[in-house]
Each structure stands twice: as C-alpha cells, then as structure tokens.
Amino acid sequence: MIPPGADTVLVRYGDIGVKSTKVQRDMERSLETNLQAMLDSREVTGTLDWQWSRPRIRTPEVEAATAAACDTFGIVSASPARSAEPTMDAICEALAEVATATEIEGPFAVSARRAGTRDAHPFTSEEIEREGGQAIWDALEKPEVDLENPSLTFYVECRSDESFIVTEKRVGPGGLPLGSQRPLVSLLSGGIDSPVAAWEVMKRGSPIVPLYFDFENYGGADHVARAVESARTLAEYAPNHTHDLRIAPAGAAAERLVSETGKTRMLSLRRYMLRVGERVAEETDAVGIVTGEAIGQKSSQTSANLALTDRVTRAPVHRPLLTWDKQEIIAHAREIGTYEDATIEAGCNRIAPEYPETNAVLEEVEAAEPDLEGLVAESVAGIERVELS
C-alpha cells in the first residue's frame, strides 16, 4: 500500500554497502546513473537525492518510481514514503493523516527507527512509537492495536534532516549496478532458460552482448522473432547500455552437422557456438560466455558433456542456472517478463539425433566432428546487428 500523500521513494541496496569506501562510492554513482536512466526510459518524473548512502527519489509518481527502482539492478528494496519534518509533532500529524486516509482493517502498530547522531533528535524511537500510536488512536476513534500481530504497521524512519512514513517494502532484484562488471557474451536462444541466465549475470553487474544463432531451415523466422523479443525485454533492464542483438547465420553449420555427425552432434553444435561466442567476446571486450544450461536438463547438458564442451574455448563459460530446476526457471522467467517472449509460437525442426550421447569422451567427439573452422569464420563474418532501443 502506498501511504496517502506519498512524495518520495526510499531505496535500499545490499552488496554495494559491504564494499570498501572507494568501490562503494563508484558503485553508488553508477547506481544513481542507472536509476535515473530507468526513470527517464519510463518517462517517470523523479529526481534522485543521495544522502548518507540512503538514496531517495522525489517524485509525484510514487507508484511508477517504486516499480522502476525495483527493476534496477543493485537495489534490494524500495518503499513508497510520505515525508515529514523530523519533529515529534510533524511525525504525529503525518501519521494521523496517513491513518485517516487509509482503510485500516484489523489491528495496527507503529514501528520507528531513528538514524543519525545520538543527539540529532530530542526523542527516542520508543517515544515515536508511543506518541505516534496515540496520534493514530485519537484520529481514528480507538482502533484495535496489536503490537505482536498487527495487520498494518506504520513504519517511521526518522533521519536527521527528514522523517518518512512507510507502509510497505517492495523487493528489488538486488545484485550490483549494471556496468560495474565487464560484459559477457550471452548465448540467447529465445527459449525459456537463456534469457533468465542473461538476466542473472546482468543482476551481478555484467552487461550482456546477446548472440543468437539462426539455424535457418532448423529454426526459422519465428525463432528469430522469439530471440529478438527476449533480447528486447532484457534491454529494458539496461536503458543506458547498448544491448544490440547479434544474429549469426548458422544454417550451414546445422546442415553440415546433421549430415555428417550422429550421436555426438549436439556436442559439436555447442562447440561450434562456443567458438563463435569466443570470437564475439574478443571483438566486444567481453570476458566470458553465459548460457542457460543446467546439469542434466538435456543430453548435451549432463555433467560429463558440459565438462567436454568447454574444452573447445579459452573463454570461461558461465552457467548461472546450473543447479536450477525447470520449474524454478519458469517461475523466474515469468517474474522478469521473458516467459511470454519464449512462448511465442515457433516451429522447430529438430537438429538433435534420435539417440544422443550422454557420456561422451573428447576423442570420440573430435573424431566425429567435421572441421568447424570455416563454418565458425563464416558465421562470425555474417553476423548482423539488431539495434534494440
């Protein structure tokens, strides 16, 4: 619930706060830039007020600004708040006004916290709770009070320069500000898993370079559309970063592997994708590759096969979903808004062989694999960029 008269959003961060002073300052600055960009991209009016590591957004659009904060990487939570002078009278008056305009069903409580120096206020937090509770009680004609099990709690945050009344805390993504880490190439298939994996590394501060392989006869226009849509959704989390989608032509590689390989086909296909990914990383200053693979999700993702595919590249391959169950991935995809993109209808000609290898040895894969170098070079040369704004 947004407190009536709300004019501010209080923003909190987590991991940034445990960094050394210098790193923290740099990250705060980039969080500030990113948050302002997020507000601007959604055309939400708001100005940031960064005081004592406690950012606030001053805004007439509290609901939309809270939502924008909760989609900004680095932010752990955000609360719509009503500001007041940091005096007992002003706090009590604001509490009474907020309570009067709120439909209170069931018992309430007041919980107060004071920040700032010991002598910043001539009252304690217990006194705020007592007197603030009394003010609400008087304003509402003896509502029920239950400090143990309230159905609504009015939180008062009293700082040196200002106080705030808050009735809810909304959860943000947490993590670190986007751009505080070097980029990673994200192998983005347009399926359910890979956008979630990309979002996870973005959450930790790494911008992504999305790379999609167009398997042409084995994929097709509707597949490309899915990939574009999921890249676009991810780009919305990164309004001040370039997240252009790279589309690599991969029809020839698919044809070649289908006609020349059997049970090790999918491993060679992955090895081909990783090799192209490595080249893209070299060109884009990216320091690794991220995929949506999880142990055992498919034959190519058994722990044995994952160990083997990585051997083809010097770039580290990151798999944030390594231990996630499909249901967890689906639930998260719904939360971040990429699930809809992944379910756009797409006709799929299968590349996979009928009996894929689940426990391959490197020599076996290499022996069966056609020379991929020409295909890799051709795909890299044919990459097209789709601008996502």
Beta bridge partners of 289: 185, 317
Residues 350 and 267: their CA atoms lie apart, in Å, by 15
Residues 155-214 that bind ligand ATP (CB under 6 A): 187-189, 191-194, 212-213
Residues 211-230 that bind ligand ATP (CB under 6 A): 212-213
Q: Considering the complex, state which of residue 179 and residue 190 has its C-beta at the smaller distance from ligand ATP.
A: 190
Q: Considering the complex, state which of residue 8 and residue 194 has its C-beta at the smaller distance from ligand ATP.
A: 194
> Residue 177 binds what, of ligand ATP, Mg ion, none (CB under 5 to 8 Å, by partner type)?
none
Q: Considering the complex, state which of residue 35 and residue 245 has its C-beta at the smaller distance from ligand ATP.
A: 245
**DSSP-derived secondary structure letter, 180:** S
Between the CA of residue 279 and those of 303, 314, 377, what are the distances in Å? 25, 11, 9
For the bound state, the minimum distance from the C-beta of residue 91 to ligand ATP, rounded and expressed in Å, comes to 51
> Residue 169 binds what, of Mg ion, ligand ATP, none (CB under 5 to 8 Å, by partner type)?
none
Query: What number of other Cβ atoms are within 10 A of residue 334's Cβ?
Result: 13
Decide: is 324 part of the binding site for ligand ATP (CB under 6 A).
no
Q: Considering the complex, state which of residue 330 and residue 383 has its C-beta at the smaller distance from Mg ion.
A: 330
Beta bridge partners of 214: 249
**Residues touching Mg ion, count (CB under 5 A):** 1
Region binding ligand ATP by CB under 6 A among candidate stretches 106-114, 147-155, 291-299, 305-313: 291-299
Query: What number of other Cβ atoms are within 10 A of residue 387's Cβ?
Result: 9
Residues 306 and 303: their CA atoms lie apart, in Å, by 5
**Residues touching ligand ATP, count (CB under 6 A):** 15
Residues 54 and 52: their CA atoms lie apart, in Å, by 5
Residue type, 338: T
Tokens of 162: 């200002």
> Residue 98 binds what, of Mg ion, ligand ATP, none (CB under 5 to 8 Å, by partner type)?
none
Binding mask 313-342 for Mg ion (x = CB under 5 A): ------------------------------
Q: Considering the complex, state which of residue 30 and residue 291 has its C-beta at the smaller distance from ligand ATP.
A: 291
Between the CA of residue 383 and those of 6, 232, 243, 281, 380, what are the distances in Å? 49, 18, 15, 13, 5
CB distance 73 to 181 below 8 Å: no
For the bound state, the minimum distance from the C-beta of residue 366 to ligand ATP, rounded and expressed in Å, comes to 20
Q: Considering the complex, state which of residue 189 and residue 233 has its C-beta at the smaller distance from ligand ATP.
A: 189
Backbone angles phi, psi at 86, to 5 degrees: -85, 45
Residues 53-72 that bind ligand ATP (CB under 6 A): none
Query: What number of other Cβ atoms are within 10 A of residue 358's Cβ?
Result: 14
> Residue 36 binds what, of Mg ion, ligand ATP, none (CB under 5 to 8 Å, by partner type)?
none
Residue nearest to ligand ATP (CB): 191
Which SS3 state, helix, strand or coil, does residue 389 take? coil
> Residue 187 binds what, of Mg ion, ligand ATP, none (CB under 5 to 8 Å, by partner type)?
ligand ATP
Region binding ligand ATP by CB under 6 A among candidate stretches 8-16, 33-41, 91-99, 293-301: 293-301
Tokens of 39: 């507000």
Residue 302 region, left (φ>0) first, then alpha (ψ -120 to 50), else beta?
beta
CB distance 84 to 68 below 8 Å: no
> Residue 213 binds what, of ligand ATP, Mg ion, none (CB under 5 to 8 Å, by partner type)?
ligand ATP
> Residue 155 binds what, of Mg ion, ligand ATP, none (CB under 5 to 8 Å, by partner type)?
none
* 42-49, long-range: CB < 8 A, 24+ apart: 42/68, 44/68, 46/9
Binding mask 167-206 for Mg ion (x = CB under 5 A): --------------------------x-------------
Residues at the interface with ligand ATP (CB under 6 A): 187-189, 191-194, 212-213, 273, 291-293, 297-298
Contact footprint for Mg ion (CB under 5 A): 193
